[in-house]
Structure 1
Amino acid sequence: MSDRPNYITPAGYAALSEEYHKLFATERPALVETIAWAAGNGDRSENGDYIYGRKRLREIDRRLGFLSRRMKAARVVDPARQEDRSRVWFGASVTIADEDDRHRALTLVGDDETDAGAGRIGWNAPLARALRGAAVGDLRRVTLPAGDRDYEVIAISYPPPP
């Protein structure tokens, strides 16, 4: 685990928690029952249900451990409560334009809730780090695998306050 805080939105934390509870309360008990049934069928060395079940149980236990550590380290931050809405901070929805005037809409979210296809990038991604603290009209240079790119911040928005 890194020293950096694991910032996450309330919705992202709820998704991690939901996955944890689904695995722990539903999938794992059903799998343990299947493994117990398969173990009672005799020779375990050639029993596909038993072998696959034990493998899947290890995967579930590993994922439960990961989710537990991530939730324990999480710092839930509600972007709707952001006081400085004129700059890009955690939870901001940002519209940026590159040198070719192609616009792109992004939302800065926790690293556990990223989805590039939906425009949600992790708080610690290179582009997000470059945009932190930027205001509308600011130019930011980002070093990406394809080379350096300049982006201009066109718009910044946050969810409405509660």
Structure 2
Amino acid sequence: MADSRPPRFITPQGFARIRAEYEQLFGEERPKLVETISWAAGNGDRSENGDYIYGRKRLREIDRRLGYLAKVMKTAKVVDPASQGGRDQVRFGATVELADEDDNRRVLTLVGEDEADASSGRISWASPLARALVGARVGDERTVRLPAGEKGYQVMAISYPS
């Protein structure tokens, strides 16, 4: 059975951040923690040994995160926004300036799900707003269905990294 999920697009910078986190956890934090757990285990009764109990819990968290990061890296399709064709249209990696009906402006960059951070203007390319914007050109108006109701936006500018 084929995987019906959309590709897991990510920018080169996003992929580098995920790889760096993986290498830091696997190469530094996990080995130190294993050493602490071994030391704590040698101190006798483990049932009341805080270092041992916390260490085991944290080790499970790290292993879970490592598994997730490995899966992301394995399934990621790295797309460099600087090499996007059709730079007059909104595509993955585009930075878009939008204006709503009240001329409130906001600047958003369409990135992969694993690197989205709405507080810094990076939204997932799979979000409702991003899906509505894909293919739009400067001057186009798009209506987005949001939890608070429909909202209209006009595309004021589109740019890509050089």
Consecutive unaligned residues of structure 2, counting only runs of 5 or more, are: none
**Quick one: distance in 2 between partners of 1:73 and 1:97?**
35
Consecutive unaligned residues of structure 1, counting only runs of 5 or more, are: none
Alignment root-mean-square deviation, CA: 0.9
State the Cα deviation string for residues 75-133 of structure 1 (Å, max 9, x = none): 00000001110000000000000011101100000111011111010110110000000
Count of matched residue pairs = 160
Residue 15 of structure 1: which of 14, 17, 20 is its match?
Answer: 17
**Quick one: distance in 2 between partners of 1:62 and 1:139?**
43
Which letter does structure 1 place at the counterpart of 2:23? H
The match for 2:34 is 32
1:84-95 counterparts in 2 under 5 A?
Answer: 84-95=86-97
Note the C-alpha offset of 1:3.
1.4
| Structure 1 moving runs of 4+ over 3 Å | none
Matched residue SS, 1:46: coil
1:68-107 counterparts in 2 under 5 A?
Answer: 68-107=70-109
TM-score (norm 2): 0.97
Matched residue SS, 1:44: coil
Percent identity among equivalent residues?
Answer: 67
TM-score (norm 1): 0.97
The match for 1:124 is 126
Residue 49 of structure 2: which of 44, 47, 50 is its match?
Answer: 47
